[in-house]
Homo-oligomer: A and B are copies of this chain.
Amino acid sequence: MKLYTYFRSSAAYRVRIALNLKGLSYEAIPVHLLRNGGEQLQDDYRNINPSASVPALQDERGTVTQSMAILEYLEETHPDVPLLPPDPLGRARVRELSQIVACDIHPLNNLRVLRYLKHTVGVSEETKDEWYRHWVREGLAALEAHLDRDRGTGHFCHGETPSLADCFLVPQVFNAERFGIDVSAYPNIARINANCVVLPAFQHAHPSQQPDAE
């Protein structure tokens, strides 16, 4: 398997964690989002992913893009070390927690959005950073409220083993901390993140451990 990845991409980081949790080896193909005007925007890469974003996963069947679609695909094609629980409501809960990050936080804070805010809307660096922190705080507060209320919460987001929701939580916490947000304000998130980051699968997926890390 080949994974088109960028060390600091939150969406690629999610997939790297899942591949590691499932014990699947892969070839990392770095796509530099900043160099050469953005390698993801070049025709060679658009032929792989017309959305011009990472990650993209290639195997003998074909190419899959969008991190949640890739994670579901890995779950269906490599069901060992399951990252979704067996019961429908538990599966729904793991997807729900994942999508709070994937739909309510991350899309507002990715590179192309911050660039548009700065260069097209013309906001100050300070307003851009406050935008970033606002959506992280809103989203983490919602995620914390779910984790705090739900009986399904355990050592990890759902129960006692890592799930797809943890693959989303850890990269989001990494991003939050990069922007100076203290996640201890969200005790369940901070606790679960701490439980995850000691595991080799999460450690080896960390941006600093990637071949293209700077």
Contact = CB atoms under 8 A, between A and B. Distances in A.
A83 to B, nearest CB: 14
A195 interface: no
A26 interface: no
Given A95-B68, A99-B68, A103-B68, A62 B89 contact: yes
Q: How many copies does the complex hold?
A: 2
Contacts of A88: 61, 73, 76-77
Interface string A97-109: 0111011101110
Q: Is the interface of A mostly helix, strand, loop or mixed?
A: helix
Contacts of A99: 66, 68-69, 102
Contact of A103 (B50, B77, B103, B142): B103
A70 interface: yes
Contacts of A72: 91-92, 95
Nearest to A139: B51
A113 interface: yes
Given A52-B142, A65-B96, A104-B107, 18 more contacts: A50-B145, A66-B95, A66-B100, A68-B95, A68-B103, A69-B92, A69-B95, A69-B99, A72-B91, A73-B88, A73-B92, A73-B95, A76-B88, A77-B88, A99-B102, A102-B102, A103-B106, A103-B107
